[in-house]
Amino acid sequence: MRIPILKLYDCLLVSIQWELDDQTALQFQEDLLHKIHETNANGVVIDITSIDFIDSFIAKVLGDVINMSKLMGAKVVITGIQPAVAITLIELGINLDDVHTALDLEKGLEKLQQELGD
Amino acid sequence: MRIPILKLYDCLLVSIQWELDDQTALQFQEDLLHKIHETNANGVVIDITSIDFIDSFIAKVLGDVINMSKLMGAKVVITGIQPAVAITLIELGINLDDVHTALDLEKGLEKLQQELGD
């Protein structure tokens, strides 16, 4: 299984709607970085509204993919972080200090446009 | 495997990026109709840019899901139909007469907004 990555204008949209297994998460990491390179995307919105639990491996992959995307020059907004996911991320010490977050996909896209407009 | 369906404002976005097997196609049909009902979406954009071949079953499911979505009151735009897919759809007599199509996701969304604005 691979997660579809949608290109909309200069942004990429990803909605993760089911729990990821380790292989899918790593495949997603690779796919997203390739897509950023291929499309010259300036921003990425990753919506995880439907995820109500993540394990340490997935949390690490998520943290990594955010940092890797930034290295490649794309701003990342994570949307729809649920309580249990927020708890896991903080408890595991995943560094999301300077990651933008928003409530849902619409607000995430708006935030990204603001950021890119700066 | 299930295909993620993204909600953006009053539209649903779907990007089918890998060949569908029969089970996934039927699951997608069900998921999309549920999502239309759940979100009160007025429009759906289905992007099939990455699909360069469809078989008769998938073509039928696609035709069906378009008609079902319309029945439920959602306008459908299909984007990124590739030559071989266009040939298959016509040869199989899948009725896409009054379906709106566009080149890519951006243009599909614009077309949908125009339609919904009417």
- Is B94 in CB contact (< 8 Å) with chain A? no
> What CA–CA distance (Å, rounded) separates A18 from A96?
22
Here the ipTM equals 0.82
Q: Does B34 touch chain A (CB under 8 A)?
A: no
The closest of B74, B67, B71, B66 to B12, measured between CA atoms, is B74
pLDDT at residue B76 in the model: 93
* A13-62 confidence digits (pLDDT tens): 999 988 889 999 999 999 999 999 999 999 999 999 989 888 899 999 99
Question: 46-75 in B: which are within 8 Å (CB) of A?
Answer: 47
B chain contacts of residue A18, beta-carbon cutoff 8 Å:
2
Confidence band of A115 (pLDDT split at 50, 70, 90)? confident
Nearest C-alpha neighbor of B55 from the set B17, B21, B103: B21
What tokens appear for B1 in the block? 């495997």
Residue A98 pLDDT grade (very low, low, confident, very high; cuts 50, 70, 90): confident
A34 near B CB under 8 A? no
In angstroms, the CA A103 to CA A83 distance is 12
Report H helices in chain B: 22-39, 56-71, 83-91, 105-117
The whole-number pLDDT of residue B118 equals 65
